[in-house]
Structure 1
Amino acid sequence: MWKKIALAGLLIGIIAYSLPKTADTDKAYAAQINQARKQKNQQFRTAATSPLTAAQKTAFDSLRYFAPDVNYRVSAHLHRTVATPTLTLARNDGGTDAYRHYADVDFTLPGQTQQQRLQLLQKVTPAGAQEPLFLPFADATNGQQTYGGGRYLDLPVPADGAQEITLDFNAAYNPFCAYNPEYSCPLPPAENRMSVVIEAGEQTFHK
Structure 2
Amino acid sequence: MRKILLLAGLLAVVGLLIYNFSGSQPIASPLAKTDSAYAAQVQQARAQKNAAFRTAATSPIPVAQRAAFGGLRYYKPNAAYRVVARLTRAAGLAPLPLALTGGAADAYVRWGTAEFELDGQPQKLILLQKQGETRELFLPFTDPTNGRQTYGGGRYLDLPVPAPEASAITLDFNAAYSPFCAYNHDYSCPKPPADNRLTVPVLAGEQLTPE
SS in 1 for 2:36: helix
Q: TM-score, normalised by structure 2?
A: 0.90
Match of 1:92 in 2: 101
Q: Point out where structure 2 has 5 or more consecutive residues left out of the alignment.
A: 22-29
> In the alignment, is residue 103 of structure 1 matched against residue 112 of structure 2?
yes
C-alpha contact 2:100 2:189 (8 A) present in aligned 1: yes
Match of 1:124 in 2: 131
Match of 1:177 in 2: 181
Match of 1:64 in 2: 73
Alignment size in residue pairs: 201
Closer/same/farther in 2, CA of residues 29 and 142 from structure 1, 3 Å limit: same
Distance 2:148 2:8 in 1: 27
AA matched with 2:8: A
Match of 1:6 in 2: 6
What is the CA-CA distance between 1:99 and the residue it aligns to? 0.6
C-alpha contact 1:16 1:32 (8 A) present in aligned 2: no
> In the alignment, is residue 83 of structure 1 matched against residue 95 of structure 2?
no
AA matched with 1:115: P
What is the CA-CA distance between 1:173 and the residue it aligns to? 0.3
Distance 1:57 1:205 in 2: 14
Match of 1:38 in 2: 47
AA matched with 1:104: T
What is the CA-CA distance between 1:6 and the residue it aligns to? 1.5
Distance 2:52 2:6 in 1: 13
Identity %: 57
AA matched with 1:80: R
Give 1:188's match in structure 2, choosing from 181, 187, 192.
Answer: 192
What is the CA-CA distance between 1:17 and the residue it aligns to? 2.0
C-alpha contact 1:106 1:117 (8 A) present in aligned 2: yes
Bigger mean CA offset, 163-172 vs 4-13: 4-13
What is the CA-CA distance between 1:16 and the residue it aligns to? 6.0
Match of 2:17 in 1: 15
Give 1:115's match in structure 2, choosing from 109, 113, 122.
Answer: 122
What is the CA-CA distance between 1:13 and the residue it aligns to? 1.1
AA matched with 2:46: R
SS in 2 for 1:115: strand
Structure 1, residues 77-125: CA drift from partner, whole Å, max 9, x if none? 111101111111111112101111000110111x32x210110000012
Distance 1:198 1:38 in 2: 21
RMSD: 1.7
Higher relative contact order, structure no. (Cα contacts within 8 Å, ≥ 6 residues apart): 2
What is the CA-CA distance between 1:22 and the residue it aligns to? 3.7
What is the CA-CA distance between 1:14 and the residue it aligns to? 3.5
Match of 2:162 in 1: 158
Bigger mean CA offset, 2-11 vs 169-178: 2-11
